[in-house]
Chains A and B, each alone.
Chain A
Amino acid sequence: MKIRKVNWTQFMSFPAILLYSIFFVYPLLKGIGMSLTDWDGMGTANFVGLSNFERFFQDKRAIGDIRTTLIFAAGSAVFLNLVGLGYALLMERPFHGRSAARVIIYLPAIISPLIMGYIWYFLLQPGRGFLYHAAEQLGTTFFLGKWMNDYPTTMTVLVFVNVWQYAGMTMIIYLAGLKNISTDILEAAIVDGAGSWQRFTRVTLPLLMPAIRINVVTNIIGSLSVFDVIMSLTEGGPGYATESLSIYIMRMCYGSRTGYSTAVAMILFFIILIPVLISLYLTKEKSDA
């Protein structure tokens, strides 16, 4: 008779979760408790129940921030994936200078965010930026003169800049995914008489599902917690017009409303959770091959 041994490999996830629990989950749990208090960052915290959450939904600025965050994320998550996939398909076949091209596409993502903000503003500042002056030489300034005065244009520019900066990252994941698709299968599809569009939708896309899953989830989380790009171009302004929830949380946290900022962070968590769960569900079956 064979004695069933416990399969220890299933516990190979233990070291990772141990490290994570100590340096993230434990401080987080201590921090989350603050969402039910009026803690100002120092001094004593008084229990205030759910009133932080009530206050959030009565704050017009906070509601505006939700709108900005959602609009930004909808644009940015979709276009990061489309553009990143497009880049990856362009880069998949070998050509001269392909390695250099990949590095270059990734370049905007590796410049330190501390100075990247300045560079973006230097490029795009309404009426003064590099692109404005370059466009002026061509005889027209397009929308570059005043784009920050108008909400839809501002949001478009913010999404555009985010895609510009981070599409290289998305591309890398898609490239890694494409590597896992063998040419045999594609050639078999050609033998079967599939056109290039059919090959793409019937063969490439389903096999690319793991990469799609990683990119969609990462980009949803990244876009909904957007901070850097908005901070560098508009600082959430004018006033609070283009402020994102992450910026709001940061400002509240350092503005002596630490307890409240924790409550808002919890709300942001649920805002992110819903689309992430949906996309995990939608990409699930195929990736569980």
Chain B
Amino acid sequence: MKRLFALLVVMALALTAVSAFAETKVNFFTGKIETIDLLNGIIDEFNAQNPGIVVEQEYQNDASNIIKVKFASDEVPDVMTTYEQEFVDQGKYMDISDVNEWWDRLIPSMRDSCTDLKTGKQYRICTNMTMAGFFYNKEIFAELGLTPATTWDEFVKNLEVIKEKKPDVVPWFIFGKEAWHLGHLIEFIPHGYLKQTLGALGCKTAMLNNESDKLNLGAADGCMAVFAQNMLDLQAKGLINEDVLTATGDNCTEAFVTGKAAMFSNGMWALSGILEANPEMADKLGFAPYPAYMPDSQPVVLCAEDSGYSISATTENVDAAKAFLTFLFSAENQKKYSESLGSPSAFKDVEAAWAPEGFAKEVSNVLNSAVNIGFTNEKPAGFSGDDAGRMVQDLLAGTYDAKGFAEAYEKAWNEGF
């Protein structure tokens, strides 16, 4: 009996000793497939330089859903790229407002994008920017003497010219099988209008508090109804692809790189796929803002935060997590990251060749001339971007007229709260 006890004591001591020397493990949870290899390289380097800390990357294709289960069962990663307003509200993320060595290097507007409206604090930091607008084929535009439109009338006229002069080219390719794509159209065009008229902050507040008099989503002459009517008109005139409801993103890329589609709406994340499918597109690629479509609106372009990182509020490895992020945010690593992801850095001291030179220039011109809007993080939790996209599918399938669409949208929006 004594022996057994002694053995147990020795074992317990040994265990304590081992755990005292054990490495600090930092779990890094990400849903970003594009940079998985690059990040593994950076992590290996960090682990080699910092004995005692081991960072482990966990990639999940379905990260935004899986993180919910993890939170629900209290198994929270130390560092994560998934960020949602409802997690912020529940205090799941650590306040990183005071980590000045990061914020001092960040472009101020990007810090604003990372700020939580309710508390005025930052619970995540974004290392990159992404833009979305219309990608167009410069060659086709030059041949027909067109310039990118700034108003909706010009936009429609451009599409009409393309259709008339080049009947086998789809003027505007929409890949509506993928609900997120149609959701993005809502996000950039009608929501974009709200963001520019109410101001970024004003719009966020109005959405957060669901001030329906300001949002005016259901009105017959409001931003939703006009948007819906415009889409129906384009469809009726044959200015978008006939198979809008069944076309996929791959179809869009294919049509665009073979000159069978003149333009499409998407974000910078589409760039690498286009260049991979046809490297010659590098010189033909143009970028344009979303045209003004309401009486009092201006052209808009999405310029939003990308690659955000948050630290868990309950992590025991705060220092290790911060050390890892500081290492990841170094100018050298961010240059690599930016070039591999194909999106410009949000750090002031990072000079990266993230896109073909001519195209990058065009993007920066658009950013300077059009109103910059961000993503809506304040949407109701029960009404996702994909849900909105499926409503547009219904619209294009003939389920709604424009007025009916606006009303249904407002209803779904309110129910989502």
Chain A–chain B contact at Cβ < 8 A: yes
Chain A interface residues (CB < 8 Å from chain B): 40-43, 121, 125-128, 146, 148-149, 235-241, 254-257
Indicate if the CB atoms of A149 and B90 lie closer than 8 Å. Answer: no
Contact size class for B? 20 to 34
A-B contact list, 13 entries, CB within 8 Å: A42-B68, A42-B72, A42-B86, A125-B248, A127-B246, A146-B243, A149-B245, A235-B179, A239-B391, A239-B397, A254-B68, A255-B387, A257-B382
- Report Cα–Cα, A108/B381, bound state, in Å: 38
- B396 closest partner in A (C-beta): A238
Q: Which 6 residue pairs of A and B lie closest in terms of their CB atoms, listed nearest first?
A: A239-B394, A238-B393, A238-B397, A256-B381, A254-B65, A239-B393
Indicate if the CB atoms of A42 and B90 lie closer than 8 Å. Answer: yes
Indicate if the CB atoms of A148 and B394 lie closer than 8 Å. Answer: no
Residues of chain B within 8 A of A237, CB atoms compared: 177, 179, 245, 390, 393
Residues of chain A within 8 A of B387, CB atoms compared: 255
- B73 closest partner in A (C-beta): A42
Indicate if the CB atoms of A41 and B177 lie closer than 8 Å. Answer: no
Residues of chain A within 8 A of B399, CB atoms compared: 239
- Report Cα–Cα, A146/B87, bound state, in Å: 43
- A240 closest partner in B (C-beta): B390
- Report Cα–Cα, A41/B399, bound state, in Å: 32
- Report Cα–Cα, A40/B248, bound state, in Å: 32
Residues of chain B within 8 A of A125, CB atoms compared: 246, 248, 251
- Report Cα–Cα, A128/B260, bound state, in Å: 14
B71 at the interface (CB under 8 A from A): yes
A42-B86, A237-B177, A256-B381 given; A126·B246 CB < 8 A: yes
Residues of chain A within 8 A of B394, CB atoms compared: 238-241
How far does the Cβ of A59 sit from chain B's closest Cβ, in whole Å?
10
A237-B179, A239-B391, A239-B397 given; A41·B72 CB < 8 A: yes
Indicate if the CB atoms of B86 and A238 lie closer than 8 Å. Answer: no
Residues of chain A within 8 A of B40, CB atoms compared: none
- Report Cα–Cα, A236/B245, bound state, in Å: 12
- Report Cα–Cα, A236/B393, bound state, in Å: 11
- Report Cα–Cα, A238/B387, bound state, in Å: 12
B60 at the interface (CB under 8 A from A): no
B109 at the interface (CB under 8 A from A): no
B197 at the interface (CB under 8 A from A): no
A-B pair number, CB within 8 angstroms: 64
Which residues from 103 to 158 on chain B have a C-beta closer than 8 Å to any C-beta of chain A?
none
Q: Name 18 extra pairs, CB < 8 A, besides A125-B248, A241-B397.
A: A42-B71, A42-B72, A42-B86, A42-B87, A121-B248, A125-B246, A125-B251, A127-B242, A127-B243, A149-B245, A237-B245, A237-B393, A238-B394, A239-B390, A239-B391, A240-B394, A254-B68, A255-B384
Chain B interface residues (CB < 8 Å from chain A): 65, 68, 71-72, 86-87, 90, 176-177, 179, 242-243, 245-248, 251, 381-382, 384, 387, 390-391, 393-394, 396-397, 399
Residues of chain A within 8 A of B176, CB atoms compared: 238
How far does the Cβ of A180 sit from chain B's closest Cβ, in whole Å?
43
How far does the Cβ of A58 sit from chain B's closest Cβ, in whole Å?
11
- A114 closest partner in B (C-beta): B61
How far does the Cβ of B337 sit from chain A's closest Cβ, in whole Å?
28
Residues of chain A within 8 A of B245, CB atoms compared: 148-149, 237-238
- Report Cα–Cα, A122/B385, bound state, in Å: 26
- Report Cα–Cα, A96/B60, bound state, in Å: 47
How far does the Cβ of B228 sit from chain A's closest Cβ, in whole Å?
14
Indicate if the CB atoms of B72 and A126 lie closer than 8 Å. Answer: no
How far does the Cβ of B251 sit from chain A's closest Cβ, in whole Å?
6
Residues of chain B within 8 A of A235, CB atoms compared: 177, 179
- Report Cα–Cα, A239/B387, bound state, in Å: 9
Contact of B86 among A126, A148, A256, A257 (CB under 8 A): A256
Residues of chain A within 8 A of B243, CB atoms compared: 126-128, 146
- Report Cα–Cα, A235/B384, bound state, in Å: 16
Of listed A121, A146, A236, A256, residue having the most chain B CB within 10 A: A256
Of listed B86, B177, B381, B397, residue having the most chain A CB within 10 A: B177
Residues of chain B within 8 A of A256, CB atoms compared: 86, 381-382
- Report Cα–Cα, A257/B177, bound state, in Å: 25
Residues of chain A within 8 A of B72, CB atoms compared: 41-42
Residues of chain B within 8 A of A255, CB atoms compared: 381-382, 384, 387
Indicate if the CB atoms of A40 and B177 lie closer than 8 Å. Answer: no
- Report Cα–Cα, A43/B382, bound state, in Å: 15
- Report Cα–Cα, A40/B381, bound state, in Å: 9
How far does the Cβ of A246 sit from chain B's closest Cβ, in whole Å?
15
- A237 closest partner in B (C-beta): B393
Indicate if the CB atoms of B90 and A43 lie closer than 8 Å. Answer: yes
Residues of chain A within 8 A of B87, CB atoms compared: 42
- A239 closest partner in B (C-beta): B394
- A147 closest partner in B (C-beta): B246
Residues of chain A within 8 A of B251, CB atoms compared: 125, 128
Residues of chain B within 8 A of A40, CB atoms compared: 86, 381
Residues of chain A within 8 A of B65, CB atoms compared: 254
- Report Cα–Cα, A200/B397, bound state, in Å: 48
- Report Cα–Cα, A238/B394, bound state, in Å: 6
- Report Cα–Cα, A237/B246, bound state, in Å: 9
- Report Cα–Cα, A149/B246, bound state, in Å: 9
